[in-house]
Amino acid sequence: MALIGNMLRALLLGTALAAAPVAAQQGTQPVASGAPPRAPFDDKVVRQGDHVINDFRFASGEVLPQLRMHYRTIGKPHRDAQGRVDNAVMILHGTGGSGAQFLQPHFANELYGPGQPLDANRYFIILPDNIGHGGSSKPSDGMRMSFPRYDYDDMVEAQRRMLVDGLKVDRLRLIFGTSMGCMHIFVWGQKRPDFAQAMMPMACQAVAIAGRNRLWRKGAMEGIRADPAWRGGNYTDQPLMGLRVASSLSVIAGTPPWWAQANYPTRDAADAYWRERFDRDIGARDANDFLYQLDSSRNYDPSAGLERITTPMTWINSADDFINPPELGLAEESMKQLKTTRYVLIPSSADTRGHSTHTWARFWTKELVDLLARSEKR
């Protein structure tokens, strides 16, 4: 109770939330609940729980005796005449994030309240922490570099097991995903084309991660490995020199150019922002966890099977996204195979947030409403 109460107070103060690990449990059990938050979903309870998957086999062949999938939920499941949950929405976070990020005001206050697109009186909203992130199983729990080398296929399968075996959800009204979660949707759409009634991927491409996108990731990983203090992952204290390299690249990759110039137009202003933003980023990192998070994208490439995606989908990218630069024309090429997809490119402005525009709901709420409407009868 205290954990979620504190979390919700942080939400109402506009504070970014961090996932708190909890002890592993067998099966799916609630581990915390909170008092109803104030506006916009003043009569809802955010709940946290774990689903533990026994003997989870990774694509690498490695097996983890117990894989913990942590999650948050808002709202209640509704069952149809056949007893199946028909109102579940799963929202997937990006690299290094957690489901807690979707409780921030610029996302939650636009979506979950009464009459809003994902009104929690109507939908059962599921916010998982993916493998290697937040309160789910990850290298920093103790296994360090002995943790199985997971990839996006593993992460999607763990999501499915959490839904079907844990929460008893075998179909989703919507999968929404940002960045890494966006890429997970392209995996979902090919591997389980009938699992979701609609899908909304934001801020990614449907091709292998290469070019500049791979370069900054590779530089971040190599920066950590090159630090003598990393010691092959067996460090006592965080390898700060390596993390400085990795965190610096991450901050630069996520910074929107127009917004940054408009808000920090002088050297001193930019320097002050850098110190605050960098300190916040590096303070939240564990070196091994970050390595695994970045490495998990190594074999992502849905391009050969895009025609298998038949779910109604709205795919949204941002014109000022350093990580997914639109001038490459990759999305337009992918769209030739995506017959049920609407593609939207949000124009850059002094207000858009580059790669992070994906969690500023005011820029794309109308597209979500449209997607829900056109997928209603599927």
Over residues 98-147, the pLDDT tens digits come to 999 999 999 999 999 999 999 999 999 999 999 999 999 999 999 999 99
pTM, two decimal places: 0.89
Over residues 250-283, the pLDDT tens digits come to 989 999 999 999 999 999 999 999 999 888 888 8
CA distance 369 to 335: 21
Over residues 325-347, the pLDDT tens digits come to 999 999 999 999 999 999 999 99
pLDDT given at position 44: 52
